[in-house]
Structure 1
Amino acid sequence: MKKLLLLSIALLLCSVSGLAQEFRANVTGRVADPAGAAVANATITVRNTSTNETATVTTNAEGSYKVPFLKPGLYTFTVEANGFKKYQRDNQELQVGQNATIDITLEVGAASETVTITADAPLLEEAKADRGNVIENRRIVELPLNARNPFMLATLTPGITFNGPAIYQRPFDNGAIADWSINGGLNRSNEFLLDGAPNNSIQGGNNLAYVPPVDAVGEFKIITNSYDAQYGRSAGGVVNVQIKSGGNQFHGSLYEFYRRNWLDSNYLFSNFRNLPAGRFRKADGTLEKAEHFLDQYGGVISGPVWIPKIYNGRDKTFFLFNYEGYREGTPNPQVITVPTDAFRTGDFTQYKTAAGQQIRIFDPLSANAANNNTRQQFSCNGVLNVICPNRINPIAQKLMALYPKANTTPVTGDPWRNNFADIPNIANDKFKNWIFKIDQNFGEKDKIFFRYGYNNRAEIRWTNGITEGPAQDGQLPLNRVNYTGVADWVRTISSTTVFNLRVSSNRYIEESRFQDGLGYDASQLGFPSGLISQLPVKMFPRFEFSDFINLGRGTFGREVTNVYSVQPNLSVAKGTHSLRFGADIRYQQYARQNAANAGLRLTFDRTFTQEIFNRADVLSGSSIASALIGAPIGGNIDNNVFPIYMAKYYAPWFQDDWKISRKLTLNFGVRWDFNNPGVERYNRINFGFDTTTVNPANARIDRTKLINGNQILGGLGFAKDGQAAVNRDNNNFQPRIGFAYKLTDKTVVRGGYGRYYVNPVGAPGYPNNGFSVQTPFVASNDSNRTPIANSLANPFPQGVLRPGGSSVGAETFLGLGFSYSNTTFIVPKVDNYSLGIQRQLPWNIAAEVSYVGSHTYDAQSAYGGINEPSLAFRDRCDVTKGGNRAVCDELLPNPFQGVAGFSGARFTSATLSRFELSRPFPQFGGITALELNEGKVWYNSFQTMVNKRFSRGLSVSGTYTFSKTIEEAIQQPGTQDSTASYIDDIAKIKNHSLAFSDRPHRFTTSGVWELPFGKGRKFLSGANKWADILVGGWQASGLYIFNSGRPWQLPANVDVVDPNYNQVDRKRFVNGVQFFQGVRPCVAQYATTTTGGVTTYNRDAQGRLVPVLLAYSVAAGCTAPSFIIREPFTTRTTAVRDYKVRRPSYEQLDLNFSKTFRLTEKFKFQFRAEAYNLFNTPQYDERAYNTTPTDPEFGSINKNNVRQSNFPRFWQLGFKLLF
């Protein structure tokens, strides 16, 4: 009965309601006589001066009126009433999404008399509590806009933090340009709209989909606090872009924007290597040109549809068409590490630290019971640290030959690091983009428009310095394609009732390929043909090396998102109430083809060549040495299903904007989201993890070998027909309330509260365990004391696993780790609130000061401790608590060895460690629960905004935000800071720290200034033709942004032991190279002593562990540690981030100088010179401070090696022909 009632309500609302996210303007007001009494039945006619479209309404008994669904632009208002003079208001500007209040006072007199005024657009918002910013067309077109992506102008709004890299803000960087946090909301959890229709993609974690060309954009509005129920599916931020419509006059332009090397400043990277701009150094020492170029060109035309002698569409049919092309080659200079020639042959005699200490390599096969498992240092013919040729694996030899040769010597740091530099690394991008829109005016009753857009991006970019052959890595290429369409109908039912229906469709495709690697036969490297024949995809494998660059791409895929929406809407004016009923209905499809590591992946690190098998140290081990002896540490072969997810979303809503008096307006609204979790078309998803069921494998194992001797419990569940991975959450009720109170004619106080339910980022993608299966590489059968023989030559001797789907039930993934979704997941919610005051100042200036806050609840989080041993057990192994690591490392008989259905080490190894067998579900590896609801965010801010509307040739806008954002147990999507919900899963310690997006200070300013010289200007207005050509028609515009640095993410493998670890001289020099120092480089490791193959920890007289500073810390002048490297099995207590250390702040100034020449009455030519990053201020690489505690550069930025994540100063020339 309950479901039937809900369905009936939804159908009823859909029959009369629904446009969410309206982009057009609404006008409300009151018509009064000179005494202030209401004038009823006055006729109000509103005419668009561009298209002559009209709308007519009459006032009610209270003198109130409402005119909804007006396209942004200039209008003429005419008011007529018996006994009063005719009133005409010209040049009334309406902006995108505006709710304008226009009160009109009539003069007594004859109707034949007309009172005409020229309107000034309202500077204050008197009818709504919503906060935000409108970027009008003048600023969109005239401000210097890098790569001409209009969405990036949203960052000129207070409360908005852009979290993506500054170098990727182009219209086809769909993922990076979605990295926004608005008023402390979750990253990538904002709603992007195009003409009011959804413009988000599921792919990539809520990517921004279609980005229109700048010249097609009319205006756009950023709503940072909305208390209007028409908005939803967001953490509170909405960006609504309106595409221009044609008018009765033909308008258009042709344009070209041009960049070349000779207009560029040098990269920070190249400056520190004394390389001229646009040059790189080849291996032979000569300089070669690395050309940077950009051409962004296109044209736009709009006007009436006019076919001579056949059809004249003036006042009726209008069109707009814009095409844009983009071609760019961008140098991405980088410094990376490749094996030296000596390393490739097994000679590690020069494998040393920056302080000259030998880094030793050890033979894992030299340890045995006779010598108490003590590894011996490699030696060949009496020379230590050399691997003899007969020990070098032939496959590894072939891999070494694929590396490029070192071509530079590092100035600082370890002498073998950062030895391959000055790569031109040209990233090539090709992009085409077009959009078409047609409007039809059938009269005052009916209006429709249709808009369709398409763009396509192709990128080729290398990331490992290899540009030919199968070992390349990078985007090879990456393709992104967008299709977007919308149809919209407005029907005027009466002077008080208007109906609107919008239908839209978006399709987003992202495809990554590996052209030179696909089809590669890995038997050429020496892998067995029997293994190659089992691979899901025949391709060059992926090889990963710690401390060195990787070989091979190892993945390709194609992901498609379809979003269909239906949005009806009914607007009713009733007395002093402006009522709106709506529903937002969407259907989403997400298809994912991910062939990651389908062609074999192997990883190498120091483990098998370090001195002690279970304790890393800075003075032993090498991933290259491990590879040479044929000892990988990990790897896998993925056999993935290609799922198709589907999700439905329904959101009925109601809004009442009640004008209680001429001074006070209240906004009431309510919205109810039915955010159905996604289902997979063929039910290929899991449904939870059952912790109580007896696993069927229990009958096949030797339970006497289990530590507790009990039955083994637990197993994965599977979705039934049409079932999602999580249960549906129907309790998403969202109240909204706001007010606007007019204290005086020039002062308005506004405030409000609104609850939002956030679209879960990444949904509806859920785990497909069993339908996708990963064949794990087993490196060792004795917990990494020794590698399995011939593990590189035959890495998967048991063959490649095939997906069994749900057929094996709870036995799925026996011996393996996995993730599953929490079945009781609920949709995260956020409460937004604000209180502010607006004031109109002289010279067409409006200022606003506000308190703005938000609180996010039930945000997505993850817990990786489902299958971890107890804290009490781990404490027995915690050396900092007096425990002994040997307790956890002790090898015990393996009850799962050889048991059918098991994979990995649990199947092959005769023993397992006591730690592994102490897991609650020992038949599995690590288990992570996803979609938990433990995340919280707190945001508080003080925000100011000052706007001077364009007048007397000048418009200026400025904002300042002072804020603090704290998070708990959050998994922030789409960022380079991968925050764990828990800093210690076993101890169940949640992360509670500053948010990665916390920027306490943020300031922006922008402006457009028509220089007051030449004809029609203040100075030299009488200049002759040649003088005017020289000094007239000039315009300057610019924007400036300053951000505090984001908090540094502390590494997980150190404990902070000195609260003053951040008190350090920020700049230091080593061998003439400047470092930006974030923390004290004072790192210690607990001292140990190895006797007879037994390693023990040194303790002082009080039994405390003895920390010993690393050699580079001593050389840096440290006398006491600030950080201590954590030992295995210890409890982490240090938060992910704190307020003490931030990455460097970021600021950038962009300027444009343009000159417009009038060629004829209808044609103009504009020349533009635009400077981006005028002061050449670097923004350091997103990796920021070095986070490897054993590296001498720990806690610092080495300006000799770091890349900047913004561009250096680029000048761009622009040429536009306008008509």
Structure 2
Amino acid sequence: MDFGSPVTGSLAPIVPGSAMKRQRRAARQRLHRARSGCRQADRATCRSDTLPGAAAFLRQQTMGEASRMAVRLRAWIVVALAVGAVSTGLAQTHLGAIRGTVLDPTGATVAEAALTVVHVPTGVGRKTTTSVDGAFVLTQLPPGNYRIDTARDGYKTHVSQTTLQVSQRLSLEIRLEIGAITEQVVVTADALIDRESVALTTVVDNAQIVQLPLDGRNFLQLALLAPGTSPAAQGSAASVRGDFAMSVNGAREDANAFLLDGGYNVDPKLNTSSVRPPVDAIKEFRVLTNTYDASFGRHAGGQVNVTTMAGSNRFSGMAYEFFRTQALNATNAFAPSDQPAPDYRRSQFGLSIGGPVVRNQTFFFADYEGLRLDEGITQIANVPTAAERQGDFSASLLLPPTNPVTGQRFPGDVIPAPFVDPIGGAIANLYPLPNRAVPFENHVDSPTLRDRNDHVDVRVDHLIGAGSTLMARYSLGDRRLFEPFSGPGFAAVPGFGSDIERRAQNLVVGLTQVVSPSIVNDLRVVYNRVSAGVFHENLGNSLSTAVGLPELSDNPRDFGLSFITITGYSPLGDEFNNPQRSTTNTVQLLDSLTYVRGRHLLKFGADALFTRQEAFRDVQSRGFLTFSSQPNFTGNALADLLLGLPLVTGGARLDNPQRLRTESINLFVQDEIRLDDDLTLSAGLRYEVISPPVDVEDRANVFDPVSGTIVQVGTEGVPRSGYATDTNNVAPRVGLAWAPGGRGDTVIRGGYGIYYNQSALAPGEGLYFNPPYFDFNLYFPLPGLPLTLANPFPEQFPLPTPPSALAFDPALKTPWLEQWSVGVQRKFGGRRAIEIAYVGSRGHDLLTARDINQPEPSPVPFNLRPDPRFGDIVSLESTARSRYDALQVTAQQRMRDGLTLHAAYTLGKSTDDASDFFTSAGDPNFPQDSNNPGADHGRSSFDVRHRFTASFAYVLPFGAGQRWASEGWAARVLGDWTIAGIFTAESGAPFTVALLPEIDNSNTGRAALGFGANDRPSLSGNAALRDPSAAAWFDTDAFTFPAFGSFGNAGRNILDGPGYQNLNLAVLKLASLSEGVNVQLRLEAFNVLNRVNLGLPDVFLGSPTFGRILTAGPARRLQLGLKLIY
């Protein structure tokens, strides 16, 4: 752990003028004589008239000096920032502080009291003395249990036992009793509410982490217990493949910071977490959601500050396994009734050990966890029958094909064998044969998903000498995943899955130095590396060549099968975004210095982050072919395939290896001022400079809106990154915390701040998707010049489509949020508390994209773009905005009568122009009308109007020390049982109704890359149903196709999806095997009530399942667990 060595000395006192010194000296003497008299007299008759006068004088003079010092401080801050002072960008430190006041029985302050603060697990302590007004502060302390010994002549020694949480500023009031210093008074100081913090935070401690049932044992799921949080929108970029993502108080999912032992633990590709230690390796974590101080930054959403376990003076450890099998799972509501349950086997196992290397000096902790998952993934597909793939459509339910030459139906609705293109026939035979006796969805299969995960952590803490400690922690996470299906919109038949590889490493080295009793410095060096790749299943295996199609690329890593879509049937081919790989290295240097001066707790910091990414992404390197039921062909897409008549083809020829570089520098200063014993002012200032990503060799081009041409970066006035660095990122923070009466039972807090967000790297990769490094073309058949399957991507074509291009807004800015909150927290008794707060935020300059070459909608057949030399021109801009307002209520109960409880309710609303730069839940990249992006303003895709969560752990009242069955065999059998659970209930997420993506009803063009813009239908009346069901979730008759060449009037995210309710439950039994060795048995049930949580409906007008819900969340799953704890 990061803790200071034992040091002796008092806090730096305030230095007044000579006259003031004499007055204070006299006041202290009067105060000391009065207290001595009280100690010698009868306590019942001892009056305090003399005591408050002297104490009040000292307080008044101290406060006056504090005010004068504040003026000097402001000037000093400006100078410090100007010269670049010491710094960190994140106070992201996980270290905390203990501050307080020592009082005598009358409430007067006690000066020069000696305090020893000992970190109980390691036995290492720090010493200090109270100032003239009885105050003390110890900073840069690691979280954990502490013993605080307070001694002063004439008083009994006061022993406090308390717990310091991660990044907490703990405020204590220590009251001494008159008596001999050899006598002791032992009390427990449990800070249920924070008297001095203005931030809204939620702490999840180790007891909650290890007791609560977690599906997948991902501790980050517990961050969703905080009010104001909501899960990422369905299908969001950051949440694929089970990765954790969330929205916090209206911020996007890429706006969260993940900190591990004070260091940056973020994968900059999408701003997700890098490494994720196992549950039993986490000591605790804090989720900061609103108005946190200037020491936290770089991201404008939540700050998830995690501390790992460290060794102590006692050897301890555990070994465990959690197991699931199909026999323990209920059947999903949408599982095919005519098929057996797919295979399922999941085993998660691990061990940990920690202890001393040298007692009271050097400690270690190490852990390992593995995951082995084999799960059959059921997918239903529409495949051609044996007759249809031979050209016989006589029994087909689809439209019979017509001869494209004569316009007449083929005799008997059978295409003559000589007419069948051999390549088209070979492609049709790639489909498996139907295995279900139904007209549609006639094929089902459950190939196996394989997931292999291994994770290791090693941590060492060492006391170097007086005032200095050193820690180092290394984490490695390795994952190998095979997905038999690539995802929605891609092939629904086996053979076209994806292989995913990801290796993440995180190293933190920290040095904490106690320079003096009032100055502590913390230095961190962090190295973070993430190497990830996604590869198509047929990597290097040219299925295209096998069926007769040419390979578009000559690079073997791109070989596979072109992506082929056939209207009425499931797609074929490998996912067109792959292969791709990126290796990102991040080095962080951060330093923070804490300085205690009178009533001021000052913190200065600087943080430098250097990021390097080597990557490739071979988008559309195998090309695509589309066959559609167009009447000017055969009217039957499969017949078009068999005749070799594609509607459109396309693909990319590319040579664009990525070598991105970016840096960011953050500076901050923060002051926590105790204006009075019950009033704390928090004021801070932060400055952030984030350089845009650049290619190390400037091997990138962008479209220049000024010249209307594609130019190389770094030339013709275009910056190397495509846009200029935004240097105007000044972020003030201010807040007040008031505890009326100074008792600490009630705290009123409020604050305001500006927060900047470092965007993910992925949008910056757009630098590489312009000609000539990325040359994407679409090919359409021309009269007398049809496309052939033998040459679907002709290099020489009379009328190639204009190239697409990508541009950056030259004035692109750093996204930023305003945050504010006001609330009240009240403690009831010693173990319960409730907090009610209003929380608001406004997002500015949020990243979005639009097509700046979109034509106005028109029914004219050939609707030319403004610049006909180009197709769509994707412009990355910082023009989106957002708004969030919420009422948030939190209630908690610390352990009382065996029950621990935490509940949170949020009534909120989030609106924006775009909920992410990427797509989610079927949303497109672009607004419907790129010439009027503001028309897309609506509810955020992650907006949840009502959300309630409750977590609890209840120790049953049986066994030793309990109310019942406290002795004998009954105590052994019935004792040490715990029931723990998490309940979640939330209203439905919004969704948008749109036309099928391939339908360009507005005649404004389709995007060549990404998902482009989906046209929306026209809406008449209210489409929401009073009693929606999976068969009809909304009124489909309320939506109609707009007139060709026009946009529909239906808005974005105007309907609500199904709500969500879930209860996860765990039953735990602890049994002793021998002295110091215990075994824990666990039974965990996820969705224990087996509630059907419906997915989103089919939102595409024109789809045969429009308005229906076809998916549901997991049914009940049981998990068995065994832990050996020693």
For Structure 1 versus Structure 2, the TM-score category normalised by the shorter chain is 0.7 to 0.9
Counterpart among 305, 330, 333 of residue 265 in structure 1: 330
Q: What's the RMSD between the two structures over aligned residues? A: 2.9
CA change 1:341–1:175 in 2 (3 A) is closer
Which residue number in structure 2 is paired with residue 836 of structure 1?
823
Provide the residue aligned with 1:1185 in structure 2: 1097
Q: Matches of 2:402 and 2:509 in 1, distance apart?
A: 69
2:693 to 662, 678, 693: 678
CA deviation profile, 1:393-428 (whole Å, cap 9, x unmatched): 111111111111111244xxxx3x32212x223211
What is the deviation of 1:123? 1.0
Equivalent residue for 2:192, pick from 116, 120, 123: 123
Match of 1:760 in 2: 759
Distance 2:127 2:497 in 1: 56
Q: Aligned runs of 1:1090-1105 on 2, under 5 Å?
A: none
Distance 2:661 2:568 in 1: 42
Q: Cα–Cα, structure 1 residues 134 and 535, in superposed 2: closer, same or farther, change >3 Å?
A: closer
2:810 maps to 1:770? no
Q: What SS does structure 1 have at the residue aligned with 2:721? A: coil
Aligned to 2:119: 48
Aligned partners of 1:1039 and 1:213: how far apart in 2? 19
Q: Which residue of structure 2 lines up, in the alignment, with residue 300 of structure 1?
A: 352
**Superposed, which structure 2 residues align to 1:573-612 within 5 Å?**
573-598=596-621, 600-606=622-628, 609-611=629-631
Aligned counterparts of 1:1042 and 1:471: Cα–Cα separation in 2: 35
Counterpart position of 1:780 = 781
Of the structure 1 ranges 982-991 and 497-506, higher mean CA displacement relative to structure 2 is found in 982-991
**Per-residue Cα deviation, 1:737-787 (whole angstroms, up to 9, x for no partner):** 1111112431111111111011213354332213532342412236xxx8x
CA distance in 1, matches of 2:651, 2:891: 56
Number of the residue aligned with 1:1203: 1111
Q: Give the direction of change, closer, same or farther, for the CA distance of 1:542–1:1061 in structure 2 (3 Å limit).
A: closer
1:795 matches 2:792: yes
> Residues 298 and 1064 from structure 1, CA distance in 2 versus in 1: closer, same or farther, beyond 3 angstroms?
same
Tell me if 1:317 matches 2:362: yes
In structure 2, what is the equivalent of residue 543 of structure 1? Answer: 564
CA distance in 1, matches of 2:449, 2:983: 27
Look up the equivalent residue of 1:1176 and give its one-letter code: N
1:95-134 aligned at under 5 Å gives the runs 95-110=165-180, 112-134=181-203
Which residue does the alignment assign to 2:23?
none
Q: CA deviation at 1:790?
A: 4.6
CA, structure 1 residues 1159+587, in 2 after alignment: closer, same or farther (shift >3 Å)? same
2:1024 maps to a residue whose letter is N
Q: Is the 8 A contact 1:834 1:850 kept in 2?
A: yes
Residues 104 and 166 of structure 1: CA distance in aligned 2, closer, same or farther (over 3 Å): farther
1:103 positional shift: 1.9
Q: What corresponds to 2:410 in structure 1?
A: 380
Give the distance between the partners of 1:580 and 1:775, measured in 2 at CA: 52
**Maintained 8 Å contact 1:981/1:991:** no
What displacement does 1:1137 show? Answer: 1.4
Structure 1 equivalent of residue 582 of structure 2: 559
Quick one: distance in 1 between partners of 2:486 and 2:509? Answer: 46
Equivalent positions of 1:900-911 (< 5 A) are none
Residues 1:926 and 2:926 aligned together: no
| Residue 177, structure 1, aligned to residue 123, structure 2 | no
The Cα shift of 1:79 comes to 1.7
Report how far residue 477 of structure 1 moved.
Answer: 1.8
Match for residue 451 of structure 1?
Answer: 473
Residue from 288, 292, 296 that aligns with 1:231: 296
Equivalent residue for 2:853?
867
In structure 2, the residue corresponding to 1:513 is in which secondary structure?
strand
CA distance in 1, matches of 2:516, 2:904: 42
Q: Please tell me whether the aligned partners of residues 777 and 801 of structure 2 are also in contact (alpha carbons under 8 angstroms).
A: no
Give the residue type in structure 2 aligned to 1:1193: T
Asked whether the equivalents of residues 53 and 443 of structure 1 are also in contact (C-alpha less than 8 Å), the reply is no
Contact 1:202 1:590 in 2 (8 A): no
1:510 aligns with 2:536: no
Q: How far has the Cα of 1:24 moved from its partner? A: 1.8
* Bigger Cα displacement from structure 2, 839-848 vs 1003-1012: 839-848
Report what 1:1103 is aligned to: none
Does the CA-based 8 Å contact 2:493-2:570 persist in structure 1? no
Q: Which moved more, 1:713-722 or 1:205-214?
A: 713-722
Letter of the 2:415 partner, please give it.
Answer: I
1:1077 maps onto 2:1097 in alignment: no
Name 1:81's counterpart in structure 2. Answer: 152
Give, in angstroms, the shift of residue 108 of structure 1: 4.1
Q: Contact 1:714–1:921 at 8 Å: present in 2 too? A: no
- Note if contact 1:187-1:974 (Cα within 8 Å) is conserved in structure 2: no
Give the 3-state SS of the residue equivalent to 1:212 in structure 2. Answer: coil
C-alpha separation between the residues in 1 aligned to 2:120 and 2:636? Answer: 74
Q: What is the CA distance between 1:63 and its match in structure 2? A: 2.4
**Closer/same/farther in 2, CA of residues 526 and 1009 from structure 1, 3 Å limit:** same
CA separation of 1:1160/1:541 partners in 2, compared to 1, >3 Å: closer, same or farther? same
Note if contact 2:1066-2:1082 (Cα within 8 Å) is conserved in structure 1: yes
Which residues in structure 2 correspond to 1:1036-1115 (within 5 Å)? 1036-1051=979-994, 1052-1063=1014-1025, 1065-1067=1027-1029, 1075-1082=1030-1037
Residue number in structure 2 paired with 1:1174: 1088
Question: Unpaired runs of 5+ in structure 2?
Answer: 1-76, 995-1013
CA contact (8 A) 1:473 1:551 kept: no
Q: Is the 8 A contact 1:472 1:552 kept in 2?
A: no
- Structure 1 segment 377-526 matched on structure 2, within 5 A: 377=408, 379-381=409-411, 383-384=412-413, 386-410=414-438, 415=439, 417-421=440-444, 423-463=445-485, 475-514=497-536, 516-520=538-542, 522-526=544-548
**Cα drift, residue 989 of structure 1:** 5.3
| Cα separation, 2, equivalents of 1:396 and 1:434 | 50
Please tell me whether the aligned partners of residues 20 and 583 of structure 1 are also in contact (alpha carbons under 8 angstroms): no
Pairing 1:1-150 to 2, within 5 Å after superposition = 12-13=83-84, 15=86, 20-89=91-160, 91-110=161-180, 112-150=181-219
Aligned partners of 1:35 and 1:1015: how far apart in 2? Answer: 41
- Aligned AA (1:658): I
Matched, 1:291 2:290: no
Q: Tell me if structure 1 keeps the 8 A contact 2:291–2:820.
A: no
Change in Cα spacing, 1:962 to 1:725, as seen in structure 2 (3 Å) is same
Aligned to 2:902: 957
Q: 1:718 aligns with which of 691, 697, 713?
A: 713
Q: How does 1:1007-1018 map to 2 (within 5 A)?
A: 1007-1018=952-963
The one-character-per-residue Cα deviations of 1:434-460 (angstroms, maximum 9, x if unpaired) are: 101010123440111100010111111
C-alpha displacement at 1:935, in angstroms?
0.6
Range with greater deviation from structure 2 (484-493 or 386-395)? 386-395
Distance, in Å, in 1 between the alignment partners of 2:666 and 2:555 is 48
Q: 1:271-282 counterparts in 2 under 5 A?
A: 273=337, 275=339, 279-280=340-341
2:661 to 636, 646, 664: 646
Match among 720, 735, 738 for residue 738 of structure 1: 735
* Conservation of the 8 A alpha-carbon contact between 1:779 and 1:791: no
Matched, 1:637 2:652: yes
Please report the TM-score for the alignment, with normalisation by the length of structure 2: 0.86
Q: Which moved more, 1:22-31 or 1:545-554?
A: 545-554
| Pair 771,189 (structure 1): closer, same or farther in 2 beyond 3 Å | farther
Any idea what SS the aligned residue of 1:765 has?
helix
Structure 1 residues 175-254: aligned runs within 5 Å: 176-203=242-269, 205-254=270-319
Structure 1 residue aligned with 2:1058: 1144
Q: CA deviation at 1:1005?
A: 0.5
CA-CA distance at 1:319 after TM superposition? 0.5
Match of 1:657 among 657, 660, 672: 672
Name the CA distance, whole Å, in 2 between partners of 1:657 and 1:862. Answer: 41
Superposition deviation, residue 1028 in structure 1: 2.9
Deviation of 1:987 after TM superposition, in Å, equals: 5.5
